Structure 1
């Protein structure tokens, strides 16, 4: 009785496998027809892909890939004769074919019970993938233009990955020519557009190795690190960009040097900021904004008024209409007057107090005055300049100009 039941079980199992293989063969035959019904072919093969008896067979996955490839070829051939097709479906079939062929290749190269590999489908899979590789470039471009950046990145990544596949090692595919540099660049741009910063950082660092459109790569990489709040890698990337690009690091479109200096200041690396500013000004001494920032760092960080004033004088000589440089110069002397006034208020002796006020405090206010007046003439709506001028006119006893500046302030409120 047990033997009878066992035999019946074997028959049932064999029958199930046979039924599913009929689906595989039916799908295969349908795809090979002159005018295939891809819907029917997919329906049959999908049943086999889900069935435990056939889902792990190389033939099942090979046929699944074959169907999708035939679907892609059918649409692609129509485009050659200017017939309209659904490009999204066409390129999705290309992708599905590739992914299914990868599974088929893996199953087709597994050793048998004797430890030997006897592949049946690998040759055809290799030829198809090799022939289809250029289409992944077009597929990436299509999805990029459609703003499906993740799919575009995936398509361009596959283009790069094909020569690296183990079973494609002997195929004549050069993974180092210029087309791969371009693809890595475009893939990096697509990754950046996904807003997935980790993916973007990975792709941009890969593209950076090619030194292709390197300014763009550094620019997007710095931005991605900033979005991740990774100031360490942001700083290192900016530093590398400045070292690699040299004078081009000052390009107004990218402003790597400016970004590096700002990041140094933001992260409390004032000495580094000063060093980079000096380096930049050695290369190009005609950047007034750098002279002004260097002056502020000398004044605020180093308490070095002399060098600060010297830098501001350079800024003004380079850019005579630089209101902020005049305002900064005025601020230095204004602060000097305020500090001296506060110290003088502690003096008990009236004569000594008046001497300090006349020879130090008022002298500093008088030095600040022309710079603030110049800055105010260039930017009459800047409140900071008007407040400073009001204080100076008050301390110098200039009632006429005091009333005038107060009237301007009231009018601007």
Structure 2
């Protein structure tokens, strides 16, 4: 029988001591590795900082070298890391700008992105840039209220660098717009607009912008947001431009289009109605700014009045516009359509006749004139539908068919214009079918 040999007490003590020493050594080793790792990352950041400075700076190499430090836990929350990252981007921009100034090729999109990244990195570095001041013994210095005294190392440089490039963000937006990076263009112009009020820049922030400049840049920003399909941001930018005095007709046109696009995209009825109200709001502003005679805005306003059964208000608007612009065929056309919507067809025809008389080449006037005459015939036809056949046939021959034929020349004119062709073709198909005009029916159907 083999007996297990048990260690004596002295052996136990020796083994335990050895094990404890091994654990201590292991822990010390891990701490040493961690310290070396942290030290290596910080050394890397310092090395990259050197590469990003001077006449022979290699920004591409510096950018690649710094990437590990931007995600490493030891340096990702260090102000120096983001200070160096921002310095690389602003340095690259300045280098490309210098090339551009002497006629060399410089990629505008890269320049725009340099400025966006430089700003983002510096804004990340600023809140991290705080160092506790210490005395000769290494103890923290205290303020009168007992809090620790804090100083910064990189903030002054970063703030001055951003402020010095403030105006460049206007160009950056243009570069990115030209490259169809509309989201980037929006951000560049947003930085430009908001940098003067950025509290993190303190007294070194750029001076407040004149309203005229803010208005124009906000307008450009709205267009960029629209192209980037950021409809809410676009509408907010349009509103800001208006608040700063922007009053060019293009703004109202685009704002109406964006609000209408938003309304069409909404699935919630409340949100859709809110967007539709915004359409009318911009149309009303545009109408007032353009002198109450711009039909594209009046149409929106009047349709809104009609939808809300405010017919008298709609007529009042149109009559006022006509008194200012009595030779505007479009205004008479809209007034004619308004009367048609109330089933006052004779009155509608009166104003539509004025429209096509003033401008015989106005395709919508031709379409609407033909449509109202057709509607008169259809109204008589419907009212006669229950009469005996002989009476009905007489009314068709003496009243309905002549009105249908009277509408044809106007609708044939409207058929020649792309904007009115589809509706004109639909009405003509119905008329030629009703008149049993097979030749013209085939012609229309073959189009």
C-alpha deviations, 1:217-238, integer Å up to 9, x for none? 2322222232231552443233
- What is the distance in 2 between the residues matched to 1:111 and 1:280? 72
- What is the distance in 1 between the residues matched to 2:299 and 2:39? 71
- What is the distance in 1 between the residues matched to 2:409 and 2:40? 93
Number of matched residues? 388
- What is the distance in 2 between the residues matched to 1:389 and 1:144? 52
Match of 2:8 in 1: none
SS at match of 1:170: helix
Match of 1:108 in 2: 129
TM-score by length of structure 2 reads 0.72
- Cα 1:364–1:109, aligned 2, differ >3 Å: closer, same or farther? farther
List gaps (5 residues or longer) in structure 2: 1-19, 134-139, 141-146, 267-271, 417-423
> Following TM superposition, by how much is the alpha carbon of 1:141 offset from its aligned partner in structure 2, in angstroms?
1.0
SS at match of 1:344: coil
Aligned counterparts, 1:84-95, within 5 A: 84-95=105-116
Query: Within the alignment, does 1:137 sit opposite 2:178 as a pair?
Result: no
SS at match of 2:55: coil
- What is the distance in 2 between the residues matched to 1:110 and 1:256? 60
TM-score by length of structure 1 reads 0.77
Match of 2:309 in 1: 271
SS at match of 2:209: coil
C-alpha deviations, 1:218-268, integer Å up to 9, x for none? 32222223223155244323332343232446446xx22224445666xxx
- What is the distance in 1 between the residues matched to 2:130 and 2:34? 25
- Cα 1:145–1:340, aligned 2, differ >3 Å: closer, same or farther? closer
Match of 1:368 in 2: 403
- What is the distance in 1 between the residues matched to 2:65 and 2:443? 82
- What is the distance in 2 between the residues matched to 1:174 and 1:42? 32
CA contact (8 A) 2:305 2:314 kept: no
> Following TM superposition, by how much is the alpha carbon of 1:103 offset from its aligned partner in structure 2, in angstroms?
1.2
Aligned counterparts, 1:16-165, within 5 A: 16-109=37-130, 114-165=147-198
- What is the distance in 1 between the residues matched to 2:50 and 2:383? 97
Aligned-residue Cα RMSD (Å) equals 3.8
SS at match of 1:206: helix
Match of 1:185 in 2: 219
Match of 2:206 in 1: 173
- Cα 1:305–1:4, aligned 2, differ >3 Å: closer, same or farther? closer
- What is the distance in 1 between the residues matched to 2:159 and 2:385? 85
C-alpha deviations, 1:318-345, integer Å up to 9, x for none? 4467543542453354234324433533
Match of 1:220 in 2: 254
1:341 aligned to 361, 384, 392, which one? Answer: 384
List gaps (5 residues or longer) in structure 1: 347-352, 393-401
